[in-house]
Amino acid sequence: MAPALDVRKTTTRLSDGRELIYFDANTQPGREGPGRDAPDRTAPGRDLPDNTAPDRTALGRGAPDRRRLPSAEADCGLRYDPLLAAWVMYSAHRQDRSYLPAAAECPLCPSAVGRQTEIPASDYEVVVFQNRYPALADAAASGGETRGLLGSRAAAGRCEVICFTGEHDASFADLSPQRVRLVTEALIDRTAELSALRGVAQVFCFENRGREIGVTQPHPHGQIYAYPFVTPRTDRMLRSVRAYTRRTGRNLFDDVVAAERAAGARLVRTGRHWVAFVPHAARWPYELHCYPIRRVPDLASLLPAERAELADFQLDLLGRFSRLFAGPAPYVWGWHQAPARVGRDALALHLELFTPRRSDDKLKYLAGSESGMDAFANDIVPEQAAERLRRLG
């Protein structure tokens, strides 16, 4: 049986009051060494935070943020669209965020003596911190709270950044399996902590990768959104699941996964605990959905053996994506977990991964039909996408 990963968590604050958390794997020497993305630095001891790293120039887990940033006051608000029955997030301050900085100015790299980044330590494994330019934050709503048809309110949520590795030029597909497990443990921790915050309804963990889809920081990182509402996508899935259960007594996710396994033509990988397939009605040129075979509502419900196999799956699937085209494919992956307080017996945890790239030099854009009517057109037939992804294994 796969052992649970032993994780040490060190919490600190940045100079503007934002929270930052280091996640370190306590490896047992001789059993599981650091991966290629975690060079053989002496890991900080258990009795931290302080500066106990043997290298005297190194900044430890307790190193302070010396930047004296002005206190974080995000101008975030929510507005309700009564026609689409959906909240929209506003964050006027985000227009100023940095855009594709050079590696020497990367704010997500570890700090060095004389160069302070968002992460005060001079190395890290996985680190999470509150986004300096959040789309959601507990702050005054733009224009104040209004009731009635055109309602608005404070954002009452939180946006966090998760860095997967200190290595600026790496990507998720380059991580070691142990590092991927550590990332998952961090996501589990954040999902639990953020779900417990007053007003948070749902937590979404995702990675955007590639400047073609607007990524402003090339350093390998993901994001964690704690929404004060159940998102439109999740609401629609829950609606479908409930209607199906009323009609059949069964869970729709169970039957979709069973139907994909029975059909076989779109399967890309089947493991002992996980299955990955191109969905029958994929919207994107290359899209993969990855489910645990045992239905669970969220990442926290996964057993150690499921978590261990998941790391292999994620690395394998992202590796296939990286080999699809001449250059690295831009992609988005996101974890669909049950909301904090509703649909916990209905929604099935799964990972969705897609690239908008449809060939070496062409992207799928969301134009009139998609942006105006939510009606997707896809040029690549799912069985062909699955066939290509199978061959890239």
Site for a copy of itself in 259-288 (CB under 8 A): 259-260, 263, 279-283
- What is the x/- site pattern for a copy of itself, positions 339-368, by CB under 8 A? -------------x-x---xx--xxxxxxx
C-alpha 335/C-alpha 316 separation (Å) is: 17
| Secondary element (H or E) of residue 307 | helix 304-322
Strand 86-91 to strand 76-81: parallel, antiparallel, or no bridges (unpaired)? antiparallel
Question: What's the residue count for the chain?
Answer: 393
The smaller minimum CB distance to a copy of itself, of residues 112 and 150, is found at 150
Count of CA atoms in the C-beta half-sphere (13 A) of 200: 23
Q: 39: closest CA among 120, 125, 162?
A: 125
Cα–Cα distance list, 277 to 11, 257, 313, 352, 390 (Å): 38, 9, 12, 10, 10
Q: Which is nearer to a copy of itself, 61 or 221 (CB)?
A: 221
Stretch near a copy of itself under the rule CB under 8 A, chosen from 52-60, 291-299, 307-315, 382-390: 382-390
Query: Least Å distance between CB 6 and a copy of itself?
Result: 30
Least CB distance to a copy of itself at residue 106 (A): 19
Which residue do the tokens 């506003």 mark? 90
Stretch that binds a copy of itself, among 41-49, 52-60, 142-150, 293-301 (CB under 8 A): 142-150
**Nearer Cβ to a copy of itself, position 66 or 250?**
250
Would you put residue 156 in left (φ > 0), alpha (ψ -120 to 50) or beta? left
| Among 9, 36, 115, 239, interactor with a copy of itself by CB under 8 A | 239
Shortest Å distance, C-beta 390 to a copy of itself: 17
Q: 5 vs 347, which CB is nearer to a copy of itself?
A: 347
Listed ranges 146-154, 160-168, 172-180, 302-310: which one lies at the site for a copy of itself (CB under 8 A) = 146-154
Residue type, 113: V
Q: What angle do CA 307, 330, 231 make, to 5 degrees?
A: 65
The answer to whether residue 142 forms part of the interface with a copy of itself (CB under 8 A) is: yes
**Going by C-beta distance under 8 Å and a sequence separation of 6 or more, which residues neighbour residue 334?**
204, 205, 206, 207, 351, 352
* Segment 17 to 56, residues that bind a copy of itself, using CB under 8 A: none
Contact yes or no for 225/91 (Cβ under 8 A)? no
Catalytic machinery residues: 221
Considering only 15, 51, 223, 245, the residue that binds a copy of itself (CB under 8 A) is: 223
Q: Are 171 and 100 in contact (CB under 8 A)?
A: no
Binding to a copy of itself (CB under 8 A) within 190-219 occurs at 204, 206-208, 213-215
Q: Which of 283, 264, 282 is nearest to 390 (CA)?
A: 264
Report the alpha-carbon distance of residue 141 to residue 79 in Å, rounded. 9
Q: Please, which residue, 61 or 158, has the CB nearer to a copy of itself?
A: 158
Pattern 60-99, binding to a copy of itself, x per CB under 8 A?
A: -------------------xxxxxxxxxxxxxx-xx---x
Q: Shortest gap between Cβ of 290 and a copy of itself (angstroms)?
A: 14
Q: How far is the CB of 299 from a copy of itself (least distance, A)?
A: 15
Q: How many residues bind a copy of itself (CB under 8 A)?
A: 86
Nearer to a copy of itself by Cβ, of 169 and 255: the residue is 255
